[in-house]
Structure 1
Amino acid sequence: MNKKILFLDDDPIALYSFGAILKDAGYEVRCVESTELFSSQVDEFLPNLIILDIRLGNTDGRKICNELKLNMATRNIPIVMLTALSHEEISEMECEADAIIGKSLESANLLLTVGVLLKNQVFSEYI
């Protein structure tokens, strides 16, 4: 069974580009453009990993991340934050993400980060 990735970004180009990269790598990917639909997708899709943009039109992805990490049902799902923010801007708010990476179309960083987090998740299921 393919690992499932839920990806939230309000930028349709980023959703398409990163979604295609992840699908080509063999992951089952569900892309969501709306924060309003995101919670129901977490419950329905049951992702193995979540990717969130930090800058979302009506909210901050770090807040969503922190809420997921406080919820017993979702706290063990690895979360990758994507951002075009500077290091200074990123550090302005506490974030419980498992990884934060730059929002460039350099697919190697994204695929490496996702692969490492999903491998760690597999190991933690047996501990």
Structure 2
Amino acid sequence: MKRKILVVDDDLLLLGSLGLLLSEEGYIVDLIDKSALVRDSIDVFKPDLIIMDILLDDGDGREICDSIKNSNLTTEIPIILLTALSHQKISEFDCQADAIIGKPYNAHILLQTAADLLKQ
């Protein structure tokens, strides 16, 4: 069975490239560019993994991550946060993400991290 990954980013170019990268690896991918759509997408798409930007036009990925992790229905979904923030800025906000990867991201590291989290 193919694994499903939800990707959330307000940068449409990055969103498209991530979708292509993950699709080429055999994943079923849902792409959204608004944080307000995350909850509905989780309910309908039922992702096995979420990859989300921290700095979204309409929300903070760290807060959305914690909301997902604090819900009994979604706590087990692994989450990778992507960010262009410095390590210092990232450490100023504690969140429950399973992994945080810097932008620009290394495709190999992102794919390996996703594969590792999906094995758990």
Q: Shorter-chain TM-score category?
A: over 0.9
Paired amino acid for 2:52: L
Q: Tell me how many residue pairs correspond in the alignment.
A: 120
- TM-score, normalising length: structure 2: 0.97
User: Per-residue displacement from partner, 1:2-53 (whole Å, max 9, x unpaired)?
Assistant: 1000011011011001111111011000000111222100100000001110
In the superposition, the TM-score normalised over structure 1's length comes to: 0.92
- Counterpart CA distance in 1 for 2:71 and 2:30 is 21
Q: Do the aligned partners of 1:8 and 1:15 also contact (CA within 8 Å) in 2?
A: yes
Tell me how far 1:80 sits from its aligned partner.
0.3
What is the Cα-based RMSD across aligned positions, in Å?
A: 0.8
Residue equivalent to 1:14: 14
Query: SS state of the match for residue 5, structure 1?
Result: strand
Stretches of structure 2 that go unaligned for 5 or more consecutive residues are none
Q: Confirm or deny: 8 A CA contact 1:18 1:105 kept in the other structure.
A: no
Percent sequence identity is 47
Post-superposition offset of 1:58: 2.1
Q: Deviations over 1:65-86 (max 9, x none)?
A: 0000000000000000001111
Q: Which residue identity lines up with residue 38 of structure 1 in the other structure?
A: V
**Structure 1 ranges of 4+ moved more than 4 A:** none
